Amino acid sequence: MIIDVVTIFPKMFSPVLDESIINRAQDKGLVKINIHNLRDFASEPHKKVDAPSCGGGGMVFKPDPLFGAVESILGYEVYPEKKKDENKRIILLSPQGKTLSQKRVKKFLNLERLILLAPRYEGVDERVRCDLAEEEISLGDYILSGGELASMVFIDCLCRLIPGVVSDKESIKRESFEGQGLDFPHYTKPVDFRGLKVPEVLLSGNHGKIETWRKRQALETTKKRRPDLLK
Ligand SMILES: C[S@@+](CC[C@H](N)C(=O)[O-])C[C@H]1O[C@@H](n2cnc3c(N)ncnc32)[C@H](O)[C@@H]1O
């Protein structure tokens, strides 16, 4: 899979993308992430990517650099020529989009190319939302200063689901939101920490009993914290 991100802050990405699981995914050749500086697609002499909102208000990302960036990445014009390519998706990070969930992330796994648009300020000119973006993704009902962190969150949850990225496939299947609810409680060494003990059953070596305990605990945790997941 190829992921392209269009941003005015390319330097924000390497501390996250060049570490841990996302870095491993790139090293293994399972994902290629390209960060594009939107200013490279803005016109001389000032390379301006934003302008005041028509009618008054804050600054808004102009349509021409964003259309230009996407068309340069894809190698063809996307408007007015509406070329359909089912293997790619142009995604706008936006608080007005559909909320990101484990289920929604999985929808993107079969695609070959994702282009993420990460604006700032008041967001994008409406023509970008309507005629360039094919999907809008939100992290939740709150406002971030820009789409960069939202893009990185999206990339992180996507990459760990690409087969081969996380070596223990089973651990992914047991995670919260994968099955019926939340994950079971985990304990590690020491078995006795200041009198707080690891449950006996987890030290018993009896895999059947451990599995039953974990399932019951996961169900109890879900009932208590997220009963909505059990509906
Ligand atoms: C300050 S916000 C603009 C908010 C916009 N004026 C509104 O009220 O809907 C700037 C950018 O941050 C990103 N952003 C902010 N909150 C977000 C969220 N919850 N999910 C995804 N992206 C978000 C979007 O890319 C947005 O265009």
CA distance 73 to 33: 12
pLDDT, position 89: 97
User: What mean pLDDT comes out for the span 61-73?
Assistant: 98
User: What mean pLDDT comes out for the span 57-72?
Assistant: 98
Residue with tokens 């496939």: 169
pLDDT, position 84: 78
The pLDDT tens digits of the residues spanning 76-89 come to: 999 988 777 899 99
Closest ligand 1 atom number to CA of residue 123: 27
Domains observed in the chain: 2-159 (3.40.1280.10), 176-230 (1.10.1270.20)
User: What mean pLDDT comes out for the span 191-210?
Assistant: 98
Of 8, 12, 93, best ligand 1 pocket probe by most atoms within 8 Å of the beta carbon:
93
Of 6, 50, 94, 155, best ligand 1 pocket probe by most atoms within 8 Å of the beta carbon:
94
Closest ligand 1 atom number to CA of residue 92: 25
The protein residue with its alpha carbon nearest to ligand 1, atom 25, reads: 147
The protein residue with its alpha carbon nearest to ligand 1, atom 22, reads: 94
CA distance 177 to 111: 22
Q: Coil, strand or helix: which one is 195?
A: coil
95 CA → ligand 1 middle, Å: 5
Extract the tokens encoding 168. 């223990």
Q: Would you tell me the crossing angle of helices 147-159 and 20-27 to the nearest 10 degrees?
A: 60
pLDDT, position 171: 87
The protein residue with its alpha carbon nearest to ligand 1, atom 17, reads: 95
pLDDT, position 170: 86
pLDDT category at 231 given cuts 50, 70, 90 is confident
User: What mean pLDDT comes out for the span 3-17?
Assistant: 98
pLDDT, position 141: 98
pLDDT category at 40 given cuts 50, 70, 90 is very high
Of 144, 145, 154, best ligand 1 pocket probe by most atoms within 8 Å of the beta carbon:
144
pLDDT, position 218: 96
The pLDDT tens digits of the residues spanning 124-153 come to: 999 999 999 999 999 999 999 999 999 999
The rounded mean pLDDT for the chain is 96
pLDDT, position 105: 97
The protein residue with its alpha carbon nearest to ligand 1, atom 27, reads: 123
pTM of the model: 0.96
CB 48 within 8 A of CB 37: no
Could you tell me if the CB of 53 is within 6 A of ligand 1? Answer: no
Predicted confidence (pLDDT) at residue 7 exceeds the cutoff of 80 = yes
Predicted confidence (pLDDT) at residue 163 exceeds the cutoff of 90 = yes
pLDDT category at 111 given cuts 50, 70, 90 is very high
Bridge partners (DSSP) of residue 6 are 36, 117
